[in-house]
Amino acid sequence: MKRVTVVVIGAGQAGLSAAYHLRRRGFAAHSEAGAAPSFVVLDADAAPGGAWQHRWASLRMATVNGIFDLPGMPKPAIDPGESSSAAIPRYFAEYEREFALPILRPVRVTSVRDIGGSLPVSGDDGLLPVSSDDGSLLVSTDRGDWLADAVINATGTWTNPVRPEIPGTFAGRQLHTRDYADASEFAGQRVAIVGGGISAVQLLEEISRVATTFWYTRREPVFLDEWRPEQEGRSTIAKVIADVEAGRPSRSVVSYTGLGWTDYARAARDRGVLVRRPMFTALTPTGVVEADGSVTEVDAVLWATGFRAELAHLEPLQLRGPLGGIPMIGTQVAADPRIHLIGYGPSQSTVGANRAGREAAAALRRRVSPGPVRERLGDPAPA
């Protein structure tokens, strides 16, 4: 078992931002003998890139929903036609090398438990433990355990896809957005596409070029004629913050903002395929039962129904409140200041993830050692 001050779980945009800001605030890599405070990043993927490395090849840089620079290193000029599953992982890999971030992979975290300082730690890994008034956290993984004073969780949502429970049995192919590869696999077929978000509209436009598509949503989608970042952006963030502070479950950003008239949304509309149907009520072996009781035959069902935050490994801490969500104060779990969630709630966006990484690192620096510190990468860090 190894001792470290902070374990960061996940190395996507949020996790890399947290790692960068921990470095700036004087946290050393776990492998730097005798250094304290210290941190490590545990990433379940075998390579850099976070969830981006798993996205479908046709998701090009020209169509991704805004990718902001990682802190300290602007992203290089990227061909708009390049696949995001290649371009963004390459950028992340360069970033990890540039700042020598202590990332271990592939390491899957299975649970985080509160042991309250009751577990003896054997051996000497050369790291000096920093005491915590609230006790220690046992971070269990498929490659050994870590003892930590705090955890920054940046696991994102990609590994926790949402698929609604629909009665009936379908004999054809069913897949989620995360399983999608390319429209060509549906050529000549009849495809039901379920979901009212950005990905659903993009895949509807793409698949409808080679297949007959049927688009289903639970609610009528709302398309915005104009998006005003100054007004709508602030209003959206305020609504998300209010929800997570109250302990309501975190929702997708698009559920607050509505859909924009992107190039692919306009293309689908202009070709007459952006036609929404009410959600079907059941599956049959060969199709779906429409809201009016009729049956539509389909060859495949694509569930573009989004994702939820991957937090199963935190369940032993019993962080959820009575409303089903985790009450938050900024990035910190309200009931446990040792736990910070980034890429969650208002920090789901890439720019939000950057800010959240900075906020979490600063809070844990103050918790471990109040007072000014010298940055490891430049000028004095802010408090």
Claim to verify: residue 134 and residue 9 sit in the same structural domain: yes
The candidate with the shortest Cα–Cα distance to 226, out of 190, 183, 254, 257, is 257
Task: Kindly state whether residue 237 falls inside one of the protein's structural domains.
Answer: no
Task: Kindly state whether residue 231 falls inside one of the protein's structural domains.
Answer: no
Task: Kindly state whether residue 85 falls inside one of the protein's structural domains.
Answer: yes
The candidate with the shortest Cα–Cα distance to 111, out of 136, 131, 137, 134, is 137
What is the band of 78 on the pLDDT scale with cuts at 50, 70, 90?
confident
Task: Kindly state whether residue 76 falls inside one of the protein's structural domains.
Answer: yes
What is the helix (H) or strand (E) element at residue 140, kind and residue range? strand 137-141
Claim to verify: residue 68 and residue 177 sit in the same structural domain: no
Claim to verify: residue 97 and residue 128 sit in the same structural domain: yes
Claim to verify: residue 204 and residue 317 sit in the same structural domain: no
Claim to verify: residue 354 and residue 289 sit in the same structural domain: no
Report the range of poorest mean pLDDT among 161-165, 167-171, 352-356.
352-356
Q: Do the beta carbons of residue 209 and residue 231 sit within 8 Å?
A: no
What is the band of 252 on the pLDDT scale with cuts at 50, 70, 90?
confident
For residue 243, the model assigns a pLDDT of 86
Claim to verify: residue 150 and residue 121 sit in the same structural domain: yes
Claim to verify: residue 314 and residue 297 sit in the same structural domain: no
| DSSP calls for 141-197 | EBTEEEEEEEEEE---STTSB-----SB---SEEEEGGG---GGGGTT-EEEEE--S
Task: Kindly state whether residue 82 falls inside one of the protein's structural domains.
Answer: yes
Residues 5-18: pLDDT tens digits? Answer: 999 999 999 999 99
Q: Point out which residues pair with 109 in neighbouring strands.
A: 141
Instruction: Specify burial of residue 293 (Cβ count, 10 A radius: 0-12, 13-18, 19+).
Output: exposed
Claim to verify: residue 196 and residue 297 sit in the same structural domain: yes
DSSP 8-state symbol, 8: E
Residues 171-195: pLDDT tens digits? Answer: 999 999 999 999 999 999 999 999 9
Q: Point out which residues pair with 88 in neighbouring strands.
A: none
The pLDDT mean for the chain works out to: 87
What is the band of 120 on the pLDDT scale with cuts at 50, 70, 90?
very low
The tally of domains found in the chain comes to: 2
Residues 307-330: pLDDT tens digits? Answer: 999 999 999 999 999 999 999 999
The candidate with the shortest Cα–Cα distance to 130, out of 30, 16, 11, 43, is 30
Task: Kindly state whether residue 379 falls inside one of the protein's structural domains.
Answer: no
**Cα angle for residues 54, 59, 63 (degrees, 5° grid):** 135
For residue 242, the model assigns a pLDDT of 86
Residues 265-293: pLDDT tens digits? Answer: 999 999 999 999 999 999 999 999 999 99
Claim to verify: residue 184 and residue 283 sit in the same structural domain: yes
Pairing assessment for the beta strands 190-194 and 173-176 based on DSSP bridges? unpaired
Query: In this model, does residue 224 exceed pLDDT 70?
Result: yes
Claim to verify: residue 350 and residue 268 sit in the same structural domain: no
What is the band of 159 on the pLDDT scale with cuts at 50, 70, 90?
very high
Q: Point out which residues pair with 333 in neighbouring strands.
A: 328, 336
Question: How far apart, in whole angstroms, are the C-alpha atoms of residue 81 and residue 74?
Answer: 19
Q: Do the beta carbons of residue 256 and residue 240 sit within 8 Å?
A: yes
For residue 237, the model assigns a pLDDT of 77
Query: Domain end: 250, 277, 303, which one?
Result: 303
CATH number at residue 136: 3.50.50.60
For residue 64, the model assigns a pLDDT of 72
Task: Kindly state whether residue 8 falls inside one of the protein's structural domains.
Answer: yes
For residue 377, the model assigns a pLDDT of 52
Query: Domain end: 303, 319, 339, which one?
Result: 303
**Could you tell me the CA-to-CA distances from 79 to 223, 224, 306 in Å, in that order?**
28, 28, 27
What is the band of 65 on the pLDDT scale with cuts at 50, 70, 90?
low
DSSP 8-state symbol, 233: I
For residue 131, the model assigns a pLDDT of 41
Q: Residue 68 CB: number of other CB atoms within 10 A?
A: 16
| DSSP calls for 68-125 | PPBTTBPPPP--TTSBHHHHHHHHHHHHHHHTT--EE-S--EEEEEE-TT-S---S--
What is the helix (H) or strand (E) element at residue 364, kind and residue range? helix 350-368
Residues 330-361: pLDDT tens digits? Answer: 999 999 999 999 988 877 766 678 889 999 99
Claim to verify: residue 6 and residue 140 sit in the same structural domain: yes
Supply the range of the domain harboring residue 184. Answer: 173-222+258-303
Claim to verify: residue 325 and residue 338 sit in the same structural domain: yes
For residues 162-171, average pLDDT: 96
Question: How far apart, in whole angstroms, are the C-alpha atoms of residue 305 and residue 51?
Answer: 17
Tokens of 302: 């694509």
Burial letters 146-164, b for 16+ CB under 10 A, else e: bbbbbbbbbbbbbbebeee
